[in-house]
Amino acid sequence: VRLVAALALAAACLLTWEALQVGPLPDFEPTRLSSAAPPARRVASLAAEADEMVLELAGPGRMVCATYMSSIHDASNVVELAKLVGVKISNIAQVEPIVLLEPDLVVVNDFNRPEALFLMEQAGLRVHRLRYPRSIEDVRSNLIHLGRALGEEGAAARWVSEIDGVSHECRARTRGRPRIRTLVLSGSLWAEGEGTLVDDLIRTAGGENVMAEGSRVVSPEEIIFMNPEAVVLTESGLNLFQGDPALASLPARKFVVPWRDSQPPTQYVIRAIRSWAVRLHPEAFAGWK
């Protein structure tokens, strides 16, 4: 027993030196991979927003896998297209199945674990990371970079132009009108605050976010105290509102949207801007759907 203990202790001391040599991971910048590389033909999508963007930019024929989220109607705008992609990944941290699909581009986002990205790069895969968008400008940037990586700059540019056009028109039509005090609840009572894509969407659509601070779960009391004029909420949020007499009596206009439209970090942001603007200022957008 003492001999085994001594050997284990000696090995521990030797390995301590090895442990001290472990350094940080390299950062994965979108621009690092996309400029000089040829357009990707076998794309693996490991993020829900990547499913939407890649499927509509490059088409299902160029995808080797999508995430399981692309099969859920409430979560994805591309369920029908995604049916044409044979492989759906549910555990995005398992690197082996992804490597074996032999993709020439793997599209991930900020929520994919860095160690999985590290292993993919070690296996020689090109990894393109989408930044989690905190503004409409971030969505534009993601579309431009991804379009370049896929060799679909033209299609990406058209979407960007459409985003700019809709945003510009919304701002122009709501200029001088009172800002509608708006609360957006994604999920149940999770309120999106300052510095988020939702905050930017509200302002572009002619509203003012009543959740002035960061995003967090809010209580019914807080919602009543905030006294919003409009509440954008999902199906589960509506159930909570209807089940709570105090919230049900709130005079605010309530707009129910599918979860996929409560904060769309993709080209579907165009639809969100339009529909939110129409709902917040129906008189300014007569003729818009």
Partner 1 sequence: MKSVALFFALLVVSMALSVCLGARNFSPAEVFDVLLGRSDLPAPHQTILMEIRLPRTLLAVMAGGALAVAGVVMQGLFRNPLAEPAIVGVSAGGAFGAVLALAMGWATTLLTLPLAAMAGSVLCTLMAFAVSVRGGRASIVALLLGGMAVNSLAGAATSMVMMSSSHFLLRDMLGWLMGTLDARTWAHVKVSAPFILGGFAGALLLARRLDLLAQGEEVAASLGVDLGRLRVWAIAVACALAGSAVAVCGIIGFVGLVVPHILRGIVGPSHGRLAAASFAGGALLLLLADLGTRVLPVASNLRLGILTAFLGVPFFLYLLRRSAGKENYA
Q: Rule CB under 8 A: which residues touch partner 1?
A: 1-2, 4-6, 8-9, 11-13, 15-16, 18-19, 21-22, 24-25, 27, 90-91, 93-97, 99-100, 102, 111, 113-116, 118-119, 122-125, 132, 186-187, 190, 215-217
Give whichever of 11 and 172 is closer to partner 1, judged by the CB atom: 11
Which residues have C-beta within 8 Å of that of residue 281, sequence separation ≥ 6?
Answer: 173, 174, 177, 180, 205, 206
Give whichever of 100 and 157 is closer to partner 1, judged by the CB atom: 100
- Work out how close the CB of 151 gets to partner 1 at its nearest, in angstroms, rounded to a whole number: 23
85 three-class SS = coil
Q: How many helices (H) and strands (E) does the chain have?
A: 13, 11
- Work out how close the CB of 288 gets to partner 1 at its nearest, in angstroms, rounded to a whole number: 31
Give whichever of 218 and 280 is closer to partner 1, judged by the CB atom: 218
Give whichever of 116 and 226 is closer to partner 1, judged by the CB atom: 116
Residue 234 CB burial class (10 angstroms; 0-12, 13-18, ≥19): buried
- Work out how close the CB of 140 gets to partner 1 at its nearest, in angstroms, rounded to a whole number: 21
> Cα dist. 4→1, 8, 11, 18, 19 in Å?
5, 6, 11, 21, 22
Residue 75 CB burial class (10 angstroms; 0-12, 13-18, ≥19): middle
Helices 48-57 and 136-150: crossing angle in degrees, nearest 10, is: 50
Give whichever of 6 and 246 is closer to partner 1, judged by the CB atom: 6
Which has the closest alpha carbon to 247: 275, 277, 276, 218? 218
**Residue that the structure tokens 């942001």 belong to:** 269
Give whichever of 103 and 147 is closer to partner 1, judged by the CB atom: 103
